[in-house]
Amino acid sequence: MLIANFDRVGRFHMGSKCLARSKCSAISSEKDKAVDEPLVGLDFERGQRGHRLIPRRLPISHLNGPRSSLSPLVCDIGKVFYENVEIYRFRKEIEKFWYLVDDLMGAAGSKLEKVLGDQFPEGERYFGLENFGNTCYCNSVLQALYFCVPFREQLLEYYGDGKNPGDVEENLLTCLAELFMQISTQKKKTGVIAPKRFVQRVKKENEIFRGYMHQDAHEFLNFLLNDLVDILEKETSKDPAGSLSPPEKMGNGPHGGQVNGAKKEPIVTWVHKSFQGILTNETRCLRCETVTARDETFLDLSLDIEQNSSITSCLKNFSSTETLNAEDKFFCDKCCSLQEAQKRMKIKKPPHILVIHLKRFKYMEQQGRYKKLSYRVVFPLELKLTNTMEDADCEYSLFAVVVHVGNGPNHGHYVSLVKSHNHWLFFDDENVEMIEESAVHTAFGSAQEYAGNTDHGYILFYESLTSNSS
């Protein structure tokens, strides 16, 4: 079905035209692209005897993107086709092709540059990231982190801190810093970058991400931030007088720092300063009324979700009082026995960057497998955090959303929506487009279970507007 094909040296042929990576400028305009686009796939046609499936050629761009102009059913057929692991190689070819197109388009100034025109933010770069085979979980998170400006600035500062690249052993932090540096210093304003070294490092460090299977973007973010923290902590303890911030007094982790009075202050790195908040877990013994408070640090909040709800209501549930009873009793130190108790979680110190993970992948015990919850969960662009211990409400502004596209937990695609200089951008691996702010709403989810739209906000990134972190 695929008309276009690659020859052995990786050149792409379409009809009589050859789109070799160099020199050739066969594709120069949208119109040319539409005409030359290779066709593939199935379409749904209204036959004389009603609806029936007729194999018909479809432009591949319709298979590769959540915002197709085709009907949801056709999109779904296309997506199933696109997501099928069996045709993985074929999908790679499509991606390679678009990468090539972007490259060629880039030479003449990208579409995005034309759309933004004079409004293209000074010094900013909008680069797509090449997909190395189901690495969209990584690309989507990288884009969200890149546009987390305080984090990016700190990382670039760290990179520029005069450390000889030869002195430092390669690790995830150096690879990430290098990648951000590479993006931010590009001559062109838009284009595509291959995060090859970073992805190789991820696969080297963690076997979970080694295969070509669909991965969980949240698991990746969690692994990445914790690994960065570990690396920085090791560097700080080796070089306490170094350029890193001195350790500050912070709350202890669940088991942290109280072993036999030998208190060890936890190290606070710049990653902590961006993402770390503190939760307080209060437990009230129902017999003696003693309240035990225990602090826990977090880099992101994982929230249970409900159908037709909002982030605010999910946060309320998160902080609601829970009764510990029956087999789940609490050991009260004062009563010296298991007692019924009431427990609640409150945010003691809200983080500067609040990362909210919606638990969309739920383990169904009866079926013995995970299921994706496509629930509609509204997330506001401006969020007020009310369940904090401090009196003042904390206000946050949404700047990135990692979106999971697809119906199931084991396949699908990740893209990200990013706010940069008051514009919203859509990052889909190599592809970067400008979108309307209202398009963000399409990632809220579906009020019905099997709706056509399968784009769901999965990880939300909010930045504090009332910056009191020093």
Residues of the shown chain interacting with Zn ion in the complex, contacts defined by CB under 5 A: 285, 287-288, 332, 334-335
Of residues 334 and 384, the one with the C-beta less far from Zn ion: 334
The minimum distance between CB 258 and Zn ion, in angstroms, equals: 20
Of residues 145 and 285, the one with the C-beta less far from Zn ion: 285
Of residues 335 and 465, the one with the C-beta less far from Zn ion: 335
Asked whether the beta carbons of 254 and 294 are under 8 A apart, the reply is yes
Rounded to whole angstroms, the Cα distance separating 427 from 402 reads 10
Q: Is residue 314 annotated as a catalytic residue, yes or no? A: no
Q: Which residues of 114-135 are buried (b: 16+ CB within 10 A; e: fewer)?
A: eebeeebeeeebbbbbbbbebb
Q: Which entry of 62, 75, 136, 314 is annotated as an active-site residue?
A: 136
Q: Is residue 285 annotated as a catalytic residue, yes or no? A: no
3-class state of residue 157 by DSSP: helix
Rounded to whole angstroms, the Cα distance separating 142 from 95 reads 19
Of residues 51 and 334, the one with the C-beta less far from Zn ion: 334
The minimum distance between CB 261 and Zn ion, in angstroms, equals: 24
Rounded to whole angstroms, the Cα distance separating 209 from 251 reads 32
The minimum distance between CB 226 and Zn ion, in angstroms, equals: 35
3-class state of residue 255 by DSSP: coil
The minimum distance between CB 333 and Zn ion, in angstroms, equals: 8
The minimum distance between CB 346 and Zn ion, in angstroms, equals: 20
The tokens for 80 are: 């199933």
- DSSP, res 446: B
DSSP 339-389: E-EEEEEEEEE--SEEEEEE--EEEETTTTEEEE--B-EE--SEEEE--BS
Q: Which entry of 218, 413, 423, 456 is annotated as an active-site residue?
A: 413
3-class state of residue 457 by DSSP: strand
The minimum distance between CB 290 and Zn ion, in angstroms, equals: 5
Q: 127 CB contacts (<8 Å, ≥6 apart)? A: 183, 186, 190, 191, 192, 193, 432
**Residue for token pair 């002195």:** 167
Of residues 288 and 447, the one with the C-beta less far from Zn ion: 288
Rounded to whole angstroms, the Cα distance separating 35 from 43 reads 18
Of residues 129 and 332, the one with the C-beta less far from Zn ion: 332
DSSP 77-119: HHHHHHH-GGGHHHHHHHHHHHHHHHHHHHHT--HHHHHHGGG
Q: Looking only at Cα atoms, what is the longest distance across the chain?
A: 84
The minimum distance between CB 440 and Zn ion, in angstroms, equals: 48
Of residues 21 and 287, the one with the C-beta less far from Zn ion: 287
CA distances from residue 268 to 90, 145, 343 in whole angstroms, order as listed: 46, 19, 28
Of residues 76 and 340, the one with the C-beta less far from Zn ion: 340
The minimum distance between CB 285 and Zn ion, in angstroms, equals: 3
DSSP alpha helices (H): ranges in 108-170?
Answer: 111-116, 136-146, 149-159
Q: Hey, which residues are catalytic here?
A: 136, 413
